[in-house]
Amino acid sequence: MMTDEKLAAILAAVQTDPGHRGLARDPHDNLFTACPGDFAAACRSIAESPRAVVHVVTGFIIPSVEPPTFETDGPLGAVFVARSLFRLGISVCCLAEIACARSLEPGLVAARVPPDSIVGNIPHDDALHGPWVKGIGAGLGPASHVVALERAGPEANGRYRTFRGRDITEMMLPAHALFEREPGQATSWQTIGIGDGGNEIGMGKVPHETVVKNIPNGDLIHCRVPTDHLIVAGVSNWGAYALAAGVYVLRGVRPPADLFDPDREHEILEVMVREGPLVDGVTGKQTATVDGLSWEEYAKPLLRIREILKS
């Protein structure tokens, strides 16, 4: 396969809807088709950057468990981006609330990512948040790209909501400020959104009418915040796998054997779930699963991407 064919095949591998969320309910106008060139553009923006520094903001809290706990979809993908891009000489920093960072840190250790791929924390104090946004994290240095990976963002009324419409605004910090720009405002970093439900940062790039016709509660939960590039996948972690794979394709580098390996990925997830803790976002259980899927079902895109990269 040629480069563009590989990119198209990678995207196709992650654009299925195993959770039946309605991502492509309308076969002609849906979340998968809304931004057709964005996946390749996102990959190229990182691959072609001579000094790429990528910050990944992740963490989606599940309010229905006691105590409310962050889910496995997002943090596992963030660790994968870090360990994948590090092999290409690209710096990655993972950002999340302290409760979510407790899973990211052991995940990075288990993934054997060097300590300079640090985990930051989004400041809770509003007085600190503005300067933190302007500097992309005190002491973390400038970023070329900021990625929102399965990260809730505000709907039209400024509230953060779960897929089912529950208000979680008070449980999460306003990371959308890293991505939201005033008209005419420019930043020194490009933004990438990765999501699977319509309520995540980046989904503001999808027309509201498209979200409403495809997603249950779409009118209520649709995040208003767009990103420069948007990747919609059946599971957000899958979008992270696709982004990393696309960068490898464009760099012309074959990934190490431990990447896109379902067994290795599951080992890392087990550590993150145990030490975080994290819960499955659908079942609410503290298990090494994602979005209620069996591991066999979840791993299908990893296996397909591995095939594509070897072709």
pLDDT digits (tens, 9 = 90+) for 140-187: 557 899 999 999 999 999 999 999 999 999 999 888 988 887 776 666
pLDDT given for residue 120 in this prediction: 60
**Whether 30 contacts 206, CB under 8 Å:** no
pLDDT category at 189 given cuts 50, 70, 90 is confident
Q: What is the mean pLDDT of residues 110-124?
A: 69
Q: How many helices (H) and strands (E) does the chain have?
A: 10, 8
Calculate Rg over the CA atoms of the chain: 17
| Cα dist from 80 to 74, 124, 144, 264, 294, whole Å | 10, 26, 19, 11, 19
What is the spatial distance between Cα 74 and Cα 81, in angstroms, rounded to a whole number? 11
pTM of the model: 0.94
Beta-bridge partner residues of 200:
152
Query: Residue 234 above 90 pLDDT?
Result: yes
Q: Which DSSP category does 223 fall into? A: -
> Where residue 60 sits, what CATH number does that domain have?
3.90.1640.20
Phi-psi region of 67 (alpha: psi -120 to 50; beta: other; left: phi over 0): beta
Boundaries of domain holding 219: 3-310
Considering its fold, how many domains does the chain have in total?
1
Q: What is the pLDDT of residues 13-48, one digit of tens each?
A: 999 999 999 999 999 999 999 999 999 999 999 999
What is the spatial distance between Cα 192 and Cα 203, in angstroms, rounded to a whole number? 10
- Mean pLDDT lowest for which of 58-62, 92-96, 160-164, 186-190? 186-190
**Whether 52 contacts 91, CB under 8 Å:** yes
